Amino acid sequence: MQDIVLVGSSGHAKVVIDIVEKAGRYRIAGLIDGFRTPGEETLGYPVLGGPSDLPALNARFDLKGALVAIGDNSVRARIAAEVAALCPQLPFVTAIHPAASVGNNVAIGAGTVVMAGAVVNPCCQVGRFCIVNTNASLDHDCVMEDYASLAPGVTTGGNCRIGSHAAVSIGAVLRHGITIGEHSVVGAGSLVLGPVDAFSIAYGTPARKIRDRQPGDKYL
Ligand SMILES: CC(C)(COP(=O)(O)OP(=O)(O)OC[C@H]1O[C@@H](n2cnc3c(N)ncnc32)[C@H](O)[C@@H]1OP(=O)(O)O)[C@@H](O)C(=O)NCCC(=O)NCCS
């Protein structure tokens, strides 16, 4: 097995650790988290240092990959860019739970995580650094742009498009052919029957735009 590091060590990272262990493709050398003391552990894996320690750690462990295990889309994008700048040769890997279902003609970008019970149906394109969370279902011919996320239990119809950095929150349902604009948030439990503008927060049944949203605003 090849050694990788996970960048992040919080609750989302625990789930990603579980996926990497169950998938059995990579061995986790340790965790990168600049806000914790090296040697502290999550699920038995030590914090090795912060992002600035990565070049030295890359040489020490002969790392074959990195996975950014951070749930917030904008923070994940920022940290992924930082890791790429520090270690340009270190590839980002994907983590797909063995109990996820990935259909034919599906493309899944580097750095993306697909969790237990998720369904990605045929002809979907899932970009880089996306999250398809526990029991989320992305139906045929959907597109998730880079850094987008589906929270647990989201259901989409076919031919939907989730814009870059957009977050569809827990349990939301999207009718077929729906477009969610970039950097937007669909609130928990929403029923989305029409397009959601970019840079906005929308929720409810049916979902309505509630307000504008700036990139990076908190939503979790
Ligand atoms: C969309 C979201 C960011 C809205 O946040 P917000 O606008 O700051 O909402 P607030 O908590 O300030 O609540 C404002 C009002 O909107 C209501 N509201 C908030 N989210 C709602 C939703 N998803 N559906 C219906 N009403 C909602 C609140 O009940 C509150 O109503 P009140 O004023 O009558 O009390 C948030 O509710 C949400 O859904 N976050 C996603 C969480 C998630 O999915 N986590 C799992 C990730 S793995």
Distance 174 CA to ligand 1 centre (A): 17
Distance 124 CA to ligand 1 centre (A): 29
Distance 151 CA to ligand 1 centre (A): 14
pLDDT in tens, 88-128: 999 999 999 999 999 999 999 999 999 999 999 999 999 99
Asked if 7 contacts 67 with a C-beta cutoff of 8 angstroms, the reply is: yes
Asked if 108 contacts 126 with a C-beta cutoff of 8 angstroms, the reply is: yes
Query: What pLDDT was estimated at residue 201?
Result: 98
pLDDT in tens, 170-210: 999 999 999 999 999 999 999 999 999 999 999 999 999 99
Among the atoms of ligand 1, which is closest to the Cα of residue 133? 48
Residue 4 has which token pair?
């990788």
Asked if 114 contacts 108 with a C-beta cutoff of 8 angstroms, the reply is: yes
Distance 6 CA to ligand 1 centre (A): 30
User: What number is the average pLDDT over the span 30-43?
Assistant: 97
Residue 52 has which token pair?
């600035």
Query: What pLDDT was estimated at residue 135?
Result: 98
DSSP-derived pairing of the beta strands 45-49 and 41-42: antiparallel
Q: Please, which pLDDT band fits residue 144 given cuts at 50, 70 and 90?
A: very high
Distance CA 108, CA 94 (A): 8
Asked if 124 contacts 50 with a C-beta cutoff of 8 angstroms, the reply is: no
Please give, one letter per residue, the 3-state secondary structure of 151-215.
Answer: CCCCEECCCCEECCCCEECCCCEECCCCEECCCCEECCCCEECCCECCCEEEECCCCEEEEECCC
Among the atoms of ligand 1, which is closest to the Cα of residue 151? 48
- Whether 209 is in the pocket of ligand 1, judged by its Cβ within 6 Å, is no
Give me the chain's average pLDDT, please: 97
- Whether 219 is in the pocket of ligand 1, judged by its Cβ within 6 Å, is yes
User: What number is the average pLDDT over the span 4-18?
Assistant: 98
Residue 188 has which token pair?
């928990």
Query: What pLDDT was estimated at residue 1?
Result: 86
User: What number is the average pLDDT over the span 136-165?
Assistant: 98
Instruction: Provide the percentage of residues in the chain whose pLDDT is more than 70.
Output: 100
What are the contacts of 206-212 at 24+ separation with CB within 8 A? 207/172
Q: Residue 219 above 90 pLDDT? A: no
Among the atoms of ligand 1, which is closest to the Cα of residue 211? 7
Query: What pLDDT was estimated at residue 220?
Result: 80
pLDDT in tens, 44-68: 999 999 999 999 999 999 999 999 9
Classified as helix, coil or strand, 12 is helix
**Which of 113, 192, 203, when mutated, tests ligand 1's pocket best, judged by the most ligand atoms within 8 Å of its CB?**
203
Distance CA 78, CA 129 (A): 11
- Whether 167 is in the pocket of ligand 1, judged by its Cβ within 6 Å, is no
- Whether 75 is in the pocket of ligand 1, judged by its Cβ within 6 Å, is no
Distance 104 CA to ligand 1 centre (A): 36
Classified as helix, coil or strand, 58 is helix
Query: What pLDDT was estimated at residue 13?
Result: 98
Domains (ranges, CATH) in the chain?
2-86 (3.40.50.20), 95-212 (2.160.10.10)
